Amino acid sequence: MRSDVRHGVRNGVRPSGGSRKSQEIFDATLDLLAEKGYEGLTVEGVAQRSGVNKTTIYRWWRSKGALLGAALTGARRLDLEPSDTGSLEGDLEALLRSIVTLLTAPPASDIAVATLGAVTHSPDLAVRVREFFADRLAREQPVFDRAMARGELTADVDPMHLVDLLAGVAWLCVVLRQQPIEKDFVSRAVSTVLRGAGAAG
Amino acid sequence: MRSDVRHGVRNGVRPSGGSRKSQEIFDATLDLLAEKGYEGLTVEGVAQRSGVNKTTIYRWWRSKGALLGAALTGARRLDLEPSDTGSLEGDLEALLRSIVTLLTAPPASDIAVATLGAVTHSPDLAVRVREFFADRLAREQPVFDRAMARGELTADVDPMHLVDLLAGVAWLCVVLRQQPIEKDFVSRAVSTVLRGAGAAG
């Protein structure tokens, strides 16, 4: 798989997000977004910073919107790897903890907040952010499939509703209110949301 | 009360948020914030737009941060009047509905989002935003006092935790994900959060 990816790059085919080169392009894209906002982000700037030819980047992503979309979903820096702790409660606590880390530890936090600040000024960026959230939710799906298999969740519970509540309270408290996160922030939010969803805590 | 406020203005004392003049200053402040961000916001610009002398504004608020803080908590435009529907569920649905309106209907939505975008770039602004949230929570307190008196909530439930979950899911879905709000968005979020808090729905 990895060698296929490298072949792809050599042949001028768009590299998978896993290749080192594409990670460098993604990092440059996100750094520029954090520093200059969406208006200040240009493919030329990304080319300069990543050391990859501008026309090469354009061959892989036909617009800066497409490039940013790929960077948001593909950059390792913004990864939220779902955990398998053996319980839904443990898995969601791990998820919420990694969201809080993403929103508080630079450089990911700068990127997250810059994206947010820019999202309402650009319908193009808004589409990319929607794709980002959809992609992250899809990656979390196994957490909910396992919970269903263990009988912790009933089929009528909408995983997206639970994740929205958890991610929402993290954004509000960490980014907007910028309050110090209390020791029981994660466990309390997860237990409220799980109990609210009628899940067996 | 209103005539006291007018007296205050005439005597050069800082006007209460209720006076017409201060509302004009607040509106000018928030409009400029939405248009130009926190860096572009100046007392001079506010003076120009509101037609109030710059030195007069400085006499009332000693910095642009203090002025913005007063505008965020005092502007009628950002008001969230707590409802008294007779039940905690009804009151929280009304609250969440007005948060969604605030975040979707201009000009309040532009202001809310501009503030958010600027908040992490300015520790000064961050303090004002924290004050704004604290002020809004204090205004909602009667909703929770009534619920406690009716036996719908136990004393160990933290109202701020409930409001954070509701406001958070609104911010995430409306501002970040920019998804169309489903018909049952408000009732579903309130019922999950209330059930999660162990409240008698």
Q: What is the pLDDT of residue A45?
A: 97
> pLDDT tens-digit profile of B73-112?
999 888 888 899 999 999 999 999 999 998 888 878 888 7
Does residue B171 sit at the A interface (CB-CB below 8 Å)? yes
Which pLDDT score is estimated for A84? 95
Query: Taking the alpha carbons of B72, B125, B39, A172 in that order, is the dihedral positive or negative?
Result: negative
Please state which CATH class domain B82-196 belongs to. mainly alpha
Angle at A159 between CA A158 and CA A162, to 5 degrees: 100
**pLDDT computed for residue B5 by the predictor:** 38
Q: Helix or strand or coil: residue A179?
A: coil
ipTM value, please give it.
0.84
For chain A, residues with pLDDT lower than 50 are 1-12, 201
Judge whether residue B20 has pLDDT over 90: no
Q: What average pLDDT does this structure show over B159-165?
A: 94
Evaluate whether B2-74 and B82-196 have a shared fold: yes
Distance from CA of A77 to the nearest CA of B (A): 19
Between B129, B171, B196, which is nearest A168 by CB?
B171
Output the pLDDT for position A117: 66
Sign of CA dihedral B26, B27, B28, B29: positive
What's the first-to-final CA gap in chain A, in angstroms? 40
* pLDDT per position as a tens digit, B109-154: 888 777 766 776 677 788 888 888 889 889 999 999 999 999 999 8
Class of domain A80-196: mainly alpha
The separation between the first and the last C-alpha atoms of chain B, rounded to the nearest angstrom, is: 39
Which chain B residues are within 8 Å of A172, Cβ to Cβ?
164, 167-168, 171
Q: What is the pLDDT of residue B155?
A: 87
Classify residue A40 by burial, with Cβ atoms within 10 Å: 0-12, 13-18, 19+.
Answer: exposed
The residues spanned by each domain of chain B are 2-74, 82-196
Report pLDDT for A5.
38
Cβ neighbors of B80 (< 8 A, separation 6 or more) are: B95, B98, B99, B102, B136, B139, B140
Is the CATH code 1.10.357.10 the one for domain B2-74?
Answer: yes
The pLDDT, as a whole number, for residue B17 is 64
List the helix and strand counts (H, then E) for chain B: 10, 0
Contact of B179 with chain A, judged by CB distance below 8 Å, is answered with: yes
Nearest in space to B69 (alpha carbons), one of B20, B25, B105:
B25
Whether chain A has a CB inside 8 Å of the CB on B124: the answer is no
